[in-house]
Structure 1
């Protein structure tokens, strides 16, 4: 665990915010709490949290809007907190850029476990640079041969995994472990879908090239 890693809690229920803060503090994290959705973006721009626990329903501005704007300039992991069961499918789809979600009511121990899992998966935000690929995880940017790539958070993690070990073959299960910190029910074909999207975006940057190669029955690798 990263000692004293700063966690931002955005929650307008005081008792719930205090409970999460206390448990995360006992686990060794530095915790800051915000109540109003309008405060989040300015605070994140002036600080460097390692993870954000973001309630869906907030005064001032809702969590979906906040998460979408965050993804325009930061890859900080976001765990959405929701009491609206009908939003779960949307959150699961990660189309808002969230890394995980938790439904109310929940155990504070579960929150700590989810935070630890995500920080283990992505222990630090850094710049990953190969000869042709450049990934700035902190600022949520990636490029191929100098051409910017418009990647989702999952796609960014996927390309980053390949870029850290060019030539290494990853099985679908290994890639799933890198992409998702929770135990959601997904099939190995989920990886195939993300691979197709990344390939398509790489092809747009450099037509006629396909650096991500598939090995039938084994997995995928990056060849530059």
Structure 2
């Protein structure tokens, strides 16, 4: 998966993961869905990262921070440009930065709103060569 409009979605709620995948695929993204954190980590460690990583915070026995750490550990040109943490647990006084991510999204996810946030972020955080 090249970085051009590519997205990796990791959520153990399979229905949600696939619904988001379908939404973003229809919007022109190349989407890969993983329903376990280990699959997402393996994918991130073995191939260049997607443009956007969308991961649940609590994924079975794993923590989404482990998925984020695997993404951030990639070489500079192989990291996702944007990392989004999704959680069903409302937490007071936390921000995306607390999870080393660029955006924190609380379930239920509004895909239109999330898509707008992603587009705005990517527009303002384009690499220097673009």
Q: Distance in 1 between matches of 2:128 and 2:56?
A: 23
Give a deviation string over 1:36-95, Cα, whole Å, max 9, x none.
111222211313300101101112421023223432335421100011112x533x1603
What is the SS of the residue equivalent to 1:80?
A: strand
- Aligned match of 1:11: 11
| Matched residue, 1:114 | 117
Q: Distance in 2 between matches of 1:35 and 1:10?
A: 6
The answer to whether the aligner puts 1:81 opposite 2:86 as a matched pair is yes
1:104-132 CA-to-partner distances (Å, cap 9, x unmatched) read 11212112112212221223487xxxxxx
Please give the alpha-carbon distance, in whole angstroms, between the structure 2 residues aligned to 1:93 and 1:123. Answer: 19
* 4+ aligned runs moved over 6 Å, structure 1: none
Aligned residue runs from structure 1 range 109-188, under 5 A:
109-124=112-127
Quote the Cα distance in structure 1 between the aligned partners of 2:109 and 2:38.
25
Please identify the structure whose Cα radius of gyration is greater: 1
Q: Across the two proteins, how many residue pairs are aligned to each other?
A: 122
Structure 1 spans left out of the alignment, 5+ residues:
127-224
RMSD: 2.3
For the Cα contact (< 8 Å) 1:36–1:60, is it kept in 2? no
Going from structure 1 to structure 2, the CA distance change for 1:93 and 1:105 (only over 3 Å counts) comes to closer
Tell me what 2:69 maps to: 68
Map of 2:104 onto structure 1:
101
CA contact (8 A) 1:68 1:96 kept: no
Higher relative contact order (CA 8 A, sep 6+): 2
CA distance in 2, matches of 1:125, 1:96: 25
Query: Structure 1's 103 and 23: CA in aligned 2 closer, same or farther, altered over 3 A?
Result: same
